[in-house]
Chain A
Amino acid sequence: MSATTTIVLGAPWAGRPTCAPAAPSVPMRDLDEAVLIRRCREGREDAYRELVERYQRRVLWVAQSMVGNEQAAEDIAQEAFIRVFRNIRRFDLSRNFYTWLYQIVTNLCIDHLRRYGRKRAADLDAIGPLADGRPSPAERSGREELRARVQAVLDRLPAKYRLVLALRDLQGFSCQEIAEIVGCNHATARWRLHRARQLFKALWNGEPVSVEEEGDPNYLRGEER
């Protein structure tokens, strides 16, 4: 018999002994994403909160640029996180979490656009001429005007182009990452980015351009080339 034998007394359901030394706690914000996901699987709400805090602004960003409405974007973000947490046990940890999250967000955006239609694209003429580089009388109203004009141009673009602009030019994803999120191949992602920038530039500068032949405005998946 060994010199020292440890006997742990107590019922098996008694849980961890209170006298056991506590594991050193790491702040949630410093935890690795995979650890956070494992904790979410254990149902820990602090891990849920941390994941929401990490990703909510980027999720809101892409949703706003897709649906053009802050309230709808918040609703989409909320629903996206709920779906993430309800299905997090099925998430494959070898995959990128953000790819999965963005897939859910983009699907919800497309559902929203199909259900409620696109927010009526604001009439560029009604917003007024572009500031032509001249400073606005009030900086705040200038920002609002710029935002409204950008949103008006985005609203006229088909969803597949809006999405690649939001992911590449606003959030900085690579074309390969965009292809994974959207569910197309790399060449298609590049083509969409190319076409999206062409259309955005033309609409921004008031050039005559038709987006009608680009197909279903709310169509996202599939190959066009």
Chain B
Amino acid sequence: MSCAEVRSLLALFVGGDAGADERVAVEGHMAMCPACAAELEEYREALAALRSGLPEPERAPDLADRILVALRARRFAWIPRLAGWSRWAAVFLIGAGLGILAQGLWPGREPAPPDVPVVRVNRVAPGTLWHPQRGVQPAVSGGSPGRRGRPGLIAPAELRVQYLPHAEVLPARSGWTRM
């Protein structure tokens, strides 16, 4: 391989990016050509200078905070772009929407029952879970769900009753657990 051919490979060779055949040819040539070896050394020095001159920077300690603040701010960035009455209309609509949503979803119950993870009862009338606003039935899995207003009976199976935070349990009466 001629000096010109070898020199055209040095830029890739110096960083380990030459192919296997090219690498062998360049290494063989270096042993017998001081001029090309000197050029390779220049490449090595330049590359070393690049790597040591631009070390990996320190982390910016508050970058994550700034990004999260900017993300939150941009969620509502469109509000100032509304002008005049449309801005107030948007605010009113958002407020009304939130109000409706809150009214529909807010459980409005007594504080959650104590964290008694599992209770065993003999008989349960499913569908008697009482909700102040909705009268929602319990989610029943593995048994026959009773219909609202006409509770069915799952008996005499041993039932495992698991309380969720918003469940409200009424006292048991005559062997039934009413909820």
Whether B142 sits at the interface, judged by CB under 8 Å, is yes
B53–chain A nearest beta-carbon distance, Å = 3
Q: With CB as the reference atom, state the residue of chain B lying closest to A165.
A: B50
Please, what's the 1-or-0 string for A190-225, where 1 marks a CB less than 8 Å from any CB in chain B?
100111011011001100000000000000000000
Once the chains are docked, how many angstroms separate the CA of A147 from the CA of B142? Answer: 70
Whole-angstrom distance between the alpha carbons of A41 and B129 in the complex? Answer: 35
CA distance A11 to B53 in the complex (A): 62
Is residue B4 within 8 Å, beta carbon to beta carbon, of the partner chain? Answer: no
B51 within 8 A of A: yes
Asked whether B165 lies within 8 Å of A74 as measured between CB atoms, the reply is no
Q: Decide yes or no whether A175 CB sits under 8 A from chain B.
A: yes
Q: Is the CB of B70 within 8 A of A1?
A: no
| Any A CB within 8 A of the CB of B21 | no
Secondary structure at the A interface, as helix, strand, loop or mixed, is: helix
Are A8 and B142 also in contact (CB < 8 A) when A1-B154, A1-B157, A147-B53 are? no
Residue-wise, chain B 127-165 has the 8 Å CB interface mask toward A (1 for contact) of: 001010010101111110000000000100111111111
The number of inter-chain residue pairs (CB within 8 angstroms) is 198
Q: Does A78 contact B (CB under 8 A)?
A: yes
Contact for B53 among A3, A49, A149, A190, CB less than 8 A: A149
For B160, the chain A residues whose CB sits under 8 A away are 4-7
Bound: A151/B112 CA distance, A = 63
Give Cα A19 to B59, complex, Å: 41
Cα distance A19–B167 in the bound complex, in angstroms:
12
Identify which of B14, B167, B179 gathers the most chain A CB atoms within 10 Å of its CB: B167
Q: Which of B42, B66, B124, B136 contacts A11 (CB 8 A)?
A: B136
Instruction: Indicate if the CB atoms of B60 and A10 lie closer than 8 Å.
Output: no
Q: Is B67's CB under 8 angstroms from A7's CB?
A: no
Q: Does B93 contact A (CB under 8 A)?
A: no
| CB-CB contacts below 8 Å: A32-51 with B | 45, 48-49
Nearest CB of chain A from residue B68's CB, rounded to whole Å: 6
Interface string of B41-54 (1 = CB under 8 A from A): 01101110111111
- The answer on a CB contact under 8 Å between B143 and A7 is yes
A146 at interface by CB-CB < 8 Å: yes
**B58 interfacial contact with A, CB 8 Å:** yes
Report the Cα distance A73→B169, complex, angstroms: 59
Contact B50 A7 (CB under 8 A): no
Query: CB < 8 Å: which of A11, A57, A149, A201 contacts B57?
Result: A57
Binds B, one of A79-87, A104-112, A116-124: A79-87
The list of the 10 closest CB pairs from A to B, nearest first, reads: A10-B164, A150-B53, A19-B117, A9-B167, A197-B11, A201-B46, A52-B64, A5-B142, A5-B143, A10-B167
Given contacts A150-B54, A193-B11, 14 further A-B contacts (CB under 8 A): A6-B162, A7-B124, A7-B161, A9-B139, A10-B139, A10-B165, A12-B136, A48-B68, A53-B64, A169-B15, A193-B15, A197-B12, A201-B42, A201-B43
A-B contact pairs, 21 of them (CB 8 A): A4-B160, A5-B157, A7-B126, A7-B138, A7-B141, A8-B139, A9-B129, A10-B166, A11-B166, A11-B167, A17-B164, A57-B57, A64-B54, A82-B74, A149-B53, A150-B49, A150-B53, A169-B47, A169-B50, A201-B43, A204-B46
